[in-house]
A and B are shown apart, each in its own frame.
Chain A
Amino acid sequence: MKRLSMHLSTLEKIFPFSFIVNTELRIQTAGRSIRKILDNYTNGQLLTDHFNILKPHYEQPIDLNNYLDQLIQIEEKTKNAKLVGQFIKPNSSDNFVFIGSLSASRVEEVSRLKLNFEDFPLQDQIFDFLMLTQSQNRTIAEATALNEKLTQANKTAQKASEMKSQFLATMSHELRTPMNGIIGMAELLKETTTLDREQQDYVSNILSSADSLLTLINDILDLSKIESGHIDLKEEEFDLYALLEEILQSIRALALSRGNRLGYTIHHPQHTIFADRIKLKQIIINLVGNANKFTHNGDIHVDIFCGADYTKFMVTDTGIGMTDQTLGRLFTPFVQGDGSMNRQYGGTGLGLSISKKLIESMGGAISAESKVDFGSKFTFTVRSNPNKSPSIRNLQIKPQ
């Protein structure tokens, strides 16, 4: 016993939470940090006067032999301080030695017991654990604050975007009405009155400028409608062959005036798809119109591949082509190939943005490839869901 006590006093520096219990469960001696926790402690008091054994649980009466070589958790009865450790039984003695340390997950549990750094052995990792816990709490608090900030910023940006779209939609609508009046009156002036050559030129200029302005207003209205989420798809079954004929017919005169040849190929016997016909027409007209604008004495061709759920369209031209830099900003609103294109070729720079958004609303995607002086190729897909088509007709593909 004396020998054990001496060992304990020598070792209590590294085991300040240890104590020795005899076979009658009386505490023979206790380490300095245990003495600090226990109220009115004197040697010889019963283990059960001060502690409950929480884990593992055995039936009473307590026999410490059951607890040997097991991780155990004990709790001080007055302050509810929890200790974790193990009982060992030195060969030379009938006594049991508890070797353990405080179990705490919060700093406050340590300070509540009036313990400090010096009450713990240097090798005890409780401070690392407590610091890590505090760092984790700090990180969680920061992440929560950051998340709230981002959510708020996102809401503000969304609201600003909705307000902008709403404003543009309203303004475009309000501008279109007087613009129609200007065009109508200018047409009346041209058609129903006698004008000299100079006056006819003036009126033609009014009409041409008003047309450009109306196109811009319509494009802005389209874009703002799409951006504010006001886009309704009217899906129907229709024949691609008829649609392509209609589109190319409308653009044929313009293409001829620039010396361009138009053509199309449908690479599947099935011509009927299920999609929003009007929007698809708008997209193809935009792409073919662009191709015609940037091609002179060349070829413009539309290829159509009908898949199980999607239909792929490719619009290829042999025009002036684009640099990689230009390709990168092609689908940004109000941005054309480069600054000079707007002046040279006209247009608002909204057509491709609108087409992209319409394609995305139809469950598809668009991409572009190009090489300067060799031409461009725009590829897009739309969800066409032919399963919804009641009939699949084998129509003859129109030869090129």
Chain B
Amino acid sequence: MYGLVNQGIKDLVLKISDNDTWLRICREANVPDEYISMHYYDDQTTYRLVASTSKELNLAPEKILGEFGKFWVHYTANEGYGPIMDLFGENFKSCLKNLNHLHMRMGMTLPKLSPPSFIYTEISDNVVELEYQSKRAGLSPMVGGLIEGLALKHRTKLEVVFTEIYDRKVFTITILGPL
């Protein structure tokens, strides 16, 4: 994954803890403590960081990934990608609808990215399904967090149900109204 992801984990750790904790996490994971956003790092670096963060903060890895997904929306906006993200949707639903386009575009710009794919289906006015496909294993909780992060950004209250049948991973999202 690109360094931006690992740097995002760092920022999340600094937000909920401190720099000493981050340094301990990196030591434990045997990975660098600084990352260059547009440099590509082995996926194992990120997996090890998540495992080590989970151990250090005494939180399940799924919880860490969920928090990270939620934080990601805010983090990337702060890193200068906010205005581009805004072009991909002015409300929660249009953001979800264009999520696949956004990731495809990013995949074309960053050739090693190997981004996930999303299939958006509108079930009714307030219910949508988002099917998530990825070559990487175990990152579904991050997508759940990402959906929550987007909802928070657009002040939308929702309920998310995740189902995984064989290799089909689907988030069923019910929009309950404004936050």
Contacts and interface: CB of A to CB of B under 8 A. Distances in A.
A3 B36 CA distance: 54
Nearest to B84: A107
Contacts of A130: 84
Contacts, number: 55
A344 interface: no
Contact of B88 (A108, A116, A138): A116
Contacts of B87: 107, 110-111, 115-117, 127
Nearest to A131: B109
Nearest to B106: A131
B83 A111 contact: yes
B116 interface: no
Contact of A142 (B37, B88, B102, B109): B37
Given A107-B87, A128-B109, A135-B110, A117 B37 contact: no
| Most chain B CB neighbours (cut-off 10 Å) among A110, A111, A135, A146 | A135
A297 to B, nearest CB: 53
Interface in B105-135: 105-106, 108-110
A128 B105 contact: yes
Contacts of B110: 135
Choose among B37, B84, B101 the residue with the greatest number of A CB atoms under 10 Å from its CB. B84
Nearest to A111: B83
7 contacts: A111-B86, A116-B86, A117-B87, A117-B88, A118-B98, A138-B38, A142-B37
Interface size class of B (residues with CB under 8 A): 20 to 34
Contacts of A139: 36-38
B79 interface: yes
A116 B89 contact: yes
Nearest to B37: A138
Contacts of A142: 36-37
B37 A128 contact: no
Contacts of A185: none
A203 B98 CA distance: 92
B109 A138 contact: no
A122 interface: yes
Interface string A103-143: 00001101100011110001000011011101101110010
